């Protein structure tokens, strides 16, 4: 398709976007003060850590070996609630809202550049006095997990990657759309609820598992004051970073024990085209595929995935590879 053709296509999409907005009762124009969101989405386990001028929201729960959890794009630390419920009696679980998401406002959009992403993870671990730990990440969080593991293998005892970014790919359509130059000014001001509801349906393999509470959480946290601009900036950076041929550098050099989990209904990072690349890059890793599950297995099927994670981390028995 020519540049002119692509431009025309985007203009048509913009027109559709505006038309949809005109009939939508929940336009996503509002901004919710951070302090109001803290009342609903922070709890007694919430902590806030000053790091490079950012106020990072994180939770530190349970006891035992340390397990650090990193969520994906548009999500928050709440995506791991099921894992925490199942695993906190056996692990000290630390999870944070990544910059720009949840209750952590973005300061520098380049925090998701590769080197800065590693630095963010390393400084967070250092601030909490973590010398070594288990590490698990989903999607964007999986990318941060493996680039950190590659850079600091001495600190990661075992690694779990869940539908992880890692190879050159297009970002999901909704991310590309919001980051397109003609759309950005609109997206910084309005992100309709139907768009978030659709995105949540896309990351679940079975949308009957989506609760109203889940839909509301994704939307309300995106309405945090400044979050819409944070999202647009992050989407723009990820569109650039994840399309680079060198994005996967180092995956095949990871030597720590690794478990790769994937939902076979993932359409954001499609299972069939991604799993082959991961198997080739990590021939010694364990792989578990979850049938009927989408992009966020730990949220959609928390009990099963947490059980498999525990078997892998504890070494009691190996989770069944599929």
* Domains observed in the chain: 28-314 (3.40.50.1820)
The pLDDT of residue 180 is 74
Determine what percent of the chain is predicted with pLDDT higher than 90: 72
Dist CA 153 CA 146 (whole Å): 10
The pLDDT of residue 176 is 76
Tokens in use for 228?
């819409």
- 285-312: pLDDT as tens digits: 999 999 999 999 999 999 999 999 999 9
Lowest mean pLDDT among 46-60, 148-162, 206-220, 234-248: 234-248
Strand, coil or helix: what is 81?
A: helix
Q: Is the pLDDT of residue 27 over 90?
A: no
Q: For the chain, what's the residue count?
A: 322
Average pLDDT, the chain: 90
Cα-based distances in Å from 69 to 44, 99, 274, 279, 293 = 19, 14, 22, 23, 20
The pLDDT of residue 189 is 80
Dist CA 92 CA 261 (whole Å): 21
The pLDDT of residue 14 is 55
Q: What global pTM score does this model have?
A: 0.90
The pLDDT of residue 321 is 58
Dist CA 35 CA 40 (whole Å): 9
Q: Which of 5-9, 244-248, 315-319 has the highest mean pLDDT?
A: 244-248
Q: Is the pLDDT of residue 216 over 80?
A: yes
């Amino acid at each position: 398709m020519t540049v002119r053709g692509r431009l025309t296509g985007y203009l048509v999409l913009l027109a559709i976007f505006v038309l949809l907005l005109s009939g939508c009762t929940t336009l996503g124009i509002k901004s919710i003060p951070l302090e109001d969101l803290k009342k609903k989405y922070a709890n007694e386990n919430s902590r806030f850590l000053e790091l490079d001028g950012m106020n990072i929201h994180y939770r530190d729960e349970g006891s035992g070996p340390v397990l650090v959890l990193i969520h994906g794009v548009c999500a928050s630390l709440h995506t791991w609630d099921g894992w925490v419920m199942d695993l906190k009696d056996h692990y000290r679980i630390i999870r944070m809202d990544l910059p720009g998401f949840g209750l952590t406002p973005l300061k520098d959009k380049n925090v998701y550049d590769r080197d800065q992403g590693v630095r963010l993870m390393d400084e967070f671990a250092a601030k909490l006095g973590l010398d070594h730990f288990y590490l698990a990440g989903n999607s964007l969080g999986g990318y941060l997990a493996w680039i950190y593991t590659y850079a600091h293998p001495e600190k990661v005892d075992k690694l779990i990657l869940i539908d992880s970014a890692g190879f050159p790919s297009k970002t999901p359509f909704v991310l590309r759309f919001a980051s397109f130059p003609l759309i950005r000014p609109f997206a910084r001001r309005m992100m309709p609820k139907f768009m978030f509801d659709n995105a949540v349906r896309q990351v679940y393999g079975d949308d009957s598992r989506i609760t109203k509470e889940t839909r509301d959480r994704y939307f309300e946290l995106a309405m945090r004051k400044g979050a819409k601009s944070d999202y647009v900036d992050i989407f723009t950076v990820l569109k650039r970073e994840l399309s680079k041929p060198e994005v996967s550098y180092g995956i095949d050099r990871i030597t720590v024990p690794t478990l790769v989990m994937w939902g076979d209904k993932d359409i954001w990072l499609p299972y069939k085209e991604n799993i082959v690349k991961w198997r080739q890059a990590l021939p010694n890793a364990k792989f578990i595929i979850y049938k009927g599950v989408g992009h966020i297995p730990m949220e959609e099927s928390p009990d099963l995935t947490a059980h498999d994670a525990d078997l892998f981390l504890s070494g009691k028995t190996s989770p069944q590879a599929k």
